[in-house]
Amino acid sequence: MKSVIRVSTEKIVGRAVVKTAYRPDVVTNLLENVRENVTEELEDVMEDVSQDGKEYDVNRVQNLAFGKPTWQENYFPIRPIEWGAAKAVDGEYSNRSAMGNQCTISGNGEKTATWGVDLESVVSISFINIYYRTDNMPSPGAYYGRFAGFFLYVSNTTYKNDGYLCFHEIQTVDGTPTENQTINCTVHGRYVIYYNERKPDVTYPSYYSQFAYNELCELEVYGCPDEGYYGEYCNQSCPENCHNQICNITTGNCINCTAGYQGPKCSQVCDEHTYGLECSLSCGNCSDGDTCHHVNGTCLKGCSEGVEGEACQKECSPGYYGKGCIHECSVNCGVPRRCNRFTGECEGGCQSGWKEKQCDMSPRSSDDKITSTYAELGDLDKPSTYDELHVYAKADEKM
């Protein structure tokens, strides 16, 4: 059950009852005063209220771990329920002794100790508070040696090594760490995992405990309950080009950008000739050296010579050449329908009776051009073949 902050208007207006019989100007002024006073009191309440592990119906970072499912690796065999994993998310840690029944107490003699909480969805995390067992002794408490060396992970699976290491306690000063820890960890994840170890082949500082424990009296995970928002009050939308609308809960900077965008807030399109996720892909051979579309790599003005496809990265299929591979190689090539994909120049030269690089001109076609030329001049008696032209030219020289 969520606790809800309610501001009493009776307290503010002194139990005055606003009736329609009041003069309009009096009603207006009274309502305005109520509005201002409600706003001021709500701000004071939001500033002063201690959340003590519970969620409140206000738009601000919340303890997202309160009452959520938990697990731990090693239960204390005699009292597995009273000292179970759920004690670390029940909002109670005023009595931090074993007999207070407000802390998890793990089994003795273990080399590793793991505790975790399932936040039940991927959330945007700001910071994590840990309150360790002290047996109500002055700081740093009676069990800082068991607390020493701990690891804190945020993961999207129940396996810590799949996640992000938020913190590893590595101090070597006796009396550390203190029993209360606040760890900044601005990441997104579903599971928060506390882990400690005492490996037999490692030499630890003298004040470290011999075995590993997870004696957590409370672990709080503060963040925004809904993805896509950031800020102290979780009321600012992540930039529209953040991948999956995920951004840093403090700065609003995107964790990753959607395809085609870059920059801290993903507000800039990819540089020329790059596209895709993180602008990490290179454009194909677009026509006239143009850049491609920054999102999908499509060449908007078609392909250059020798390539085809939307991204102009696929070589022409055999038998085709030119821009966008729209031209067919000549059947008159030495190897029919086989030519250079850029220029159309035939492989193996031309078949007999054909010439030019693309084998698209025959002697007969040249004769036709000559005949056409003379026809245009109105002299149909002139020679119409190359051989006749040479004879004609020689005869003309002798005249």
Structure-block tokens of residue 146: 């068991």
Contact (Cβ atoms closer than 8 angstroms) between residue 53 and residue 66: yes
Contact (Cβ atoms closer than 8 angstroms) between residue 314 and residue 340: no
With tokens 């009096």, the residue in question is 26
Contact (Cβ atoms closer than 8 angstroms) between residue 366 and residue 386: yes
Question: How far apart are the C-alpha atoms of 315 and 215, rounded to whole Å?
Answer: 64
> How many Cβ atoms from other residues are within 10 Å of residue 159's Cβ?
12
Residue 196 CA neighbour count, 13 Å, CB half: 26
The residue ranges of DSSP E strands in the chain, in sequence order, are 62-63, 70-72, 112-132, 151-155, 164-168, 180-184, 188-197, 216-224, 229-230, 236-237, 261-262, 268-269, 274-275, 281-282, 307-308, 314-315, 320-321, 327-328
Question: How far apart are the C-alpha atoms of 280 and 286, rounded to whole Å?
Answer: 17
> How many Cβ atoms from other residues are within 10 Å of residue 118's Cβ?
14
Instruction: Give the residue from 126, 110, 47, 49 showing the smallest Cα distance to 76.
Output: 110
Query: Which residues, 6+ apart, have CB-to-CB distance to 7 below 8 Å?
Result: 38, 41, 42, 45
CATH superfamily of 62-224: Galactose-binding domain-like (2.60.120.260)
Per-residue model confidence (pLDDT) at position 1:
34
Q: 70-72 and 229-230: which strand pairing?
A: unpaired
Q: In the chain, what are the helix, strand and coil shares in percent, each to the nearest 5?
A: 20, 25, 55
Query: Bridge partners of 343?
Result: none
Rg (CA), the chain: 40
Quick check: helix, strand or coil at residue 10? helix
Per-residue model confidence (pLDDT) at position 361:
82
Amino acid at 147: F
Domain boundaries, the chain: 9-42, 62-224, 367-398
DSSP string, 122-139: EEEEEEEEEEE--TTPST
Mark the ranges of the chain whose per-residue pLDDT is less than 70: 1-59, 363-399
Instruction: Give the residue from 242, 130, 141, 114 showing the smallest Cα distance to 185.
Output: 130
Question: How far apart are the C-alpha atoms of 186 and 169, rounded to whole Å?
Answer: 18
Question: How far apart are the C-alpha atoms of 91 and 98, rounded to whole Å?
Answer: 16
Quick check: helix, strand or coil at residue 344? coil
Contact (Cβ atoms closer than 8 angstroms) between residue 191 and residue 157: yes
Query: In whole angstroms, what separates CA 173 from the centre of its chain?
Result: 39
- The DSSP code for 279 is G
Instruction: Give the residue from 337, 330, 269 showing the smallest Cα distance to 297.
Output: 269
Per-residue model confidence (pLDDT) at position 25:
60
Query: Which residues, 6+ apart, have CB-to-CB distance to 339 below 8 Å?
Result: 319, 321, 329, 330, 333, 345, 346, 347, 358
Per-residue model confidence (pLDDT) at position 26:
52
Instruction: Give the residue from 398, 60, 21, 385 showing the smallest Cα distance to 223.
Output: 60
Give the global pTM.
0.66
Amino acid at 44: D
